């Protein structure tokens, strides 16, 4: 992969002195190809899709169908109609949680490292409907220990809803093996793929997962655009979170007939530019190659790990092996708050990272941690940027820790 050629596609790096952007796990940058695709909608065919029949509206509908097909191809799905466009992974996960017709004593199992998007809906449903919850240790699953999962499944589980790659330390669970176990016990599986899909080859059909959600803004796409994939027979049992125009075939004063998948889940005026931009984003990623992206991030994480592992008063989160942490490098400096680390790195070296609890509050509060400083890498980051990051962190450790 030619990093310098890739960087020319990103407007931020065309500044005279661009910052070192190491916050892609929060939101990735967008290449001009995605921006141009969105602008083309606003300039050339700024109309409604699926409603009017004039030429501009028809062009919108054609572009939306193309984007849906491109996303389906990107994740190994043959039936493009099983790809649902939402405004975020949060909306995707909530659609399933609130649309599965769960009832009192139905058992849902998650891990102890879930993003609030896959935690809060279950907390509220436990209060509202009396569903029961089980928790699995993400670290044990990541290490390949599936015995706790077997024990939970034997209690009777309606849905296993787990994060594929956690956003705290970047490690991943063996989802395919977990899906097989869950299906053997009659449970459905939903996965939060926000941190996995942007960085790894993904074949959802081979994985056999029932439902999979992710956000495009973490993989070169526009903000305000998320994806929900589901097997057709599963999606047909899920009640839409939002209903209205565009999601129904006909209504009367006392009835409404929902359209089939996917339209039933896409009521209301859609983010047409965002969906078209999402198609451009997955095409861009496919052109580069997900294997190359994954290997590049591994090299960068190796540089960070080797460069900082012996720094006094610095502790790393997650597995020691960089290959098990993907594009995320989380750390803390003794005596410094994560937010202070992030602000000082920005001030002294224009190194931009994220800090805090990363919307995984229970994991940190249960361990008495204030959070973590998190650097996250992507295809456009260079080895030179990583060396500057290392030097800046070493400076902080030397000047600001005991």
Active-site positions?
359
| Element containing residue 93 per DSSP (H, E) | helix 89-99
Query: What is the C-alpha separation between 304 and 264, in angstroms, rounded?
Result: 46
Q: Angle 365-353-342 (CA atoms, 0-180°, nearest 5)?
A: 70
DSSP calls for 204-271: HHHHT-SEEEEEGGGTT--TT-EEEEE-HHHHTTSPPSS-STTSEEEEETTEEEE--TTGGG--SS--
CB 130 within 8 A of CB 105: yes
Query: What is the C-alpha separation between 163 and 141, in angstroms, rounded?
Result: 11
Query: What is the C-alpha separation between 118 and 116, in angstroms, rounded?
Result: 5
- Category of 397 on φ-ψ map: left (φ > 0), alpha (ψ -120 to 50) or beta: alpha
* 212 C-beta neighbours (distance < 10 Å), count: 27
* 398 C-beta neighbours (distance < 10 Å), count: 11
């Amino acid at each position: 992969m030619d990093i310098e050629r890739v960087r020319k596609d990103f407007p931020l790096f065309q500044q005279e002195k661009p910052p070192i952007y190491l916050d892609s796990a929060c939101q990735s940058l967008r290449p001009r190809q995605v921006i141009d695709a969105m602008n083309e909608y606003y300039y050339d065919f700024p109309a409604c899709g699926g409603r009017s029949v004039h030429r501009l509206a028809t062009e919108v509908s054609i572009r939306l169908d193309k984007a849906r097909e491109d996303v389906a191809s990107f994740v190994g799905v043959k039936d493009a109609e099983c790809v649902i466009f939402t405004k975020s992974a949060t909306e995707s996960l909530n659609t399933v949680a609130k649309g599965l017709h769960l009832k009192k004593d139905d058992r849902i199992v998650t891990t102890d490292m879930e993003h609030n998007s896959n935690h809060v809906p279950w907390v509220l449903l436990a209060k509202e409907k009396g569903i029961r919850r089980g928790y699995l240790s993400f670290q044990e699953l990541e290490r390949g220990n599936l015995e706790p999962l077997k024990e939970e499944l034997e209690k009777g589980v309606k849905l296993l809803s787990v994060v594929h790659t956690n956003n705290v330390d970047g490690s991943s669970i063996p989802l395919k093996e977990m899906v097989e176990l869950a299906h053997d016990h009659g449970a459905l599986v939903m996965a939060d793929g926000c941190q996995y899909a942007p960085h790894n080859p993904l074949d959802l059909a081979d994985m056999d997962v029932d439902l999979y959600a992710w956000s495009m803004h973490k993989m070169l796409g526009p903000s305000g655009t998320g994806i929900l994939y589901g097997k057709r027979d599963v999606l047909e049992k899920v009640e839409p979170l939002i209903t209205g125009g565009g999601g129904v075939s006909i209504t009367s004063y006392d009835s409404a007939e929902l359209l089939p998948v996917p339209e039933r889940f896409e009521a209301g005026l859609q983010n047409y530019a965002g969906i078209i931009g999402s198609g451009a984003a997955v095409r861009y990623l496919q052109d580069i190659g997900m294997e190359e992206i994954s290997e590049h991030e591994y090299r960068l994480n190796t540089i960070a790990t080797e460069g900082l592992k012996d720094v006094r008063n610095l502790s790393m989160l997650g597995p020691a092996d960089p290959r098990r942490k993907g594009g995320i490098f989380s750390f803390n400096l003794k005596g410094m708050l994560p937010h202070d680390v992030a602000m000082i790195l920005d001030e002294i070296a224009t190194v931009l990272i994220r800090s805090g609890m990363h919307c995984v509050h229970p994991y940190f509060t249960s361990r008495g941690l204030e959070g973590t400083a998190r650097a996250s890498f992507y295809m456009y980051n260079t080895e030179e940027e990583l060396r500057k990051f290392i030097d800046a962190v070493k400076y902080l450790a030397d000047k600001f820790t005991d």
